[in-house]
Copies of this chain bind each other. A is one copy, B any other.
Amino acid sequence: MQIHEIPTGTQAMDWQVPKEWRIDEAWIEDPTGRRIVDFAENNLHVVGYSEPVDRKMTLDELQEHLHSLPEQPDAIPYVTSYYKRRWGFCMPHTQRCRLPQGIYRVRIDSELFDGSLTYGECILPGQSKREVLISTYVCHPSMANNELSGPVIATALAEELAGWNQRRYTYRFVWIPETIGSLVYLSRHLEHLREYVVAGYVLTCLGDGRAWSFLRSRQANSLADRAAACVMAAREGEVREYTFLDRGSDERQYCAPGVDLPVASLMRSKYGTYPEYHTSLDNLELVSPESLQQSFEMVRQVIRLIEGNKTWKTNCLGEPQLGRRGLYPTLSAKDSCDGEVRDMMNILAYSDGSADLIDICTMGQIDPDVALAIVSRLADAELLTPLDSPD
């Protein structure tokens, strides 16, 4: 992985890289001098990007700078203020309600200075210059599902793909701060990405086990969308499909008019839909190794399908005689043509050069891994030939 530093003030499309924020300490002392809120205990206690402050004030004055969630009174909310100068503290609503009148001292020892935006990038070359983009974001402090799970899966996937001795596509991984990170990345690589990216995914919220979710790109039916939908359809458990109208992360930039990359999102419970979202409750109790492992396998299956997806054409007119090739039951009775035999027949029947394997799996409700294995056997038997692809 290469680390890139982009200086404050660098133009990125309509935006500029903001100043860097450093914070050393931050706390509130109550009228008795007791520290009741301390950044050292939980970094969510301070509104992200808070400017420095060090003064005394009444409770009423302080209230204007406090954030809490009346409907989740035990959670600390996660609040940031990137592009307007302000300061603030976050705390559980129960605690806020019990604050006595009096003079409080607040101190935030922070600095906004000309620094840089940092992102990571890893490129795994394949047989083709055409690329699959994997993007995940690294800017939410202390959030486990949204967002540590995304970088974790992206890293595991990069390790996995680095170990493959053959990759059809080139893989481009980026670990970026949300929004400004993707804008910076696009402003540096737009021409290349527009020419080579055939599919891309934002990986986020992959650690809880409540559901499978995917969000379509603005194009809605790109290779990325079709592969994700196909893999999701074969998943056990609840699958939630979202349109681009429900977007909320870096696909906002990747799919913007004029950028138009085929980037979908792969998730478990989508950001914004689960109660722990953007609070101190999105912690390591919410995510589990099992869910992360399942998510990794789902993403890997999507990649496997993209790698193996081709448009095939049958080599004979009418059905081939599968029986003499050991691919069909030799005894005809009720139900002798179910399951995998049926899947194989459907792959043959629809491989007319107009539908690719993802189309056929979707139409025939075929598990993508089963389909890849079948196609491999049919190609070995010289019953299917792939159409030339532009790789």
Contacts and interface: CB of A to CB of B under 8 A. Distances in A.
A386 interface: no
Interface stretch (A34-42, A166-174, A283-291, A349-357): A349-357
A55 interface: no
20 contacts: A12-B318, A13-B316, A14-B318, A79-B333, A81-B331, A81-B332, A82-B330, A82-B332, A83-B330, A84-B330, A86-B330, A190-B317, A218-B349, A218-B350, A248-B337, A253-B318, A257-B349, A257-B350, A272-B335, A278-B333
A256 B349 contact: yes
Interface string A110-150: 00000000000000000000000000000000000000000
Interface stretch (A100-108, A228-236, A292-300, A319-327): A319-327
Contacts of A1: none
Nearest to A90: B333
A313 B256 CA distance: 11
A187 B318 CA distance: 9
A8 interface: no
Contacts of A351: 257
Interface of A: 12-15, 47-48, 67, 69, 77-84, 86, 179, 182-183, 186-187, 190, 218, 244-245, 247-248, 252-253, 255-260, 272, 277-279, 313-314, 316-321, 323-324, 330-335, 337, 345-346, 348-353, 363-364
B323 A257 contact: no
B318 A83 contact: no
Contacts of A319: 14, 179, 183, 252-253, 256
Contacts of A83: 321, 323-324, 330
A320 B352 contact: no
Contact of A277 (B248, B316, B323, B334): B334
A321 B257 contact: no
B352 A257 contact: yes
Contacts of A84: 323, 330-331
A349 B217 CA distance: 11
Contact of A245 (B13, B80, B346): B346
Given A252-B349, A334-B77, A349-B244, A258 B317 contact: yes
Contacts of A12: 318
Given A83-B324, A351-B257, A67 B333 contact: yes
A272 to B, nearest CB: 8
A321 B15 contact: yes
A276 to B, nearest CB: 11
A257 B353 contact: yes
**Which of A14, A48, A256 is packed against the most chain B CB atoms within 10 Å?**
A14
A271 B209 CA distance: 42
A82 B324 CA distance: 11
A19 to B, nearest CB: 14
Given A79-B333, A245-B364, A313-B257, A14 B321 contact: yes
Given A14-B319, A258-B314, A333 B245 contact: no
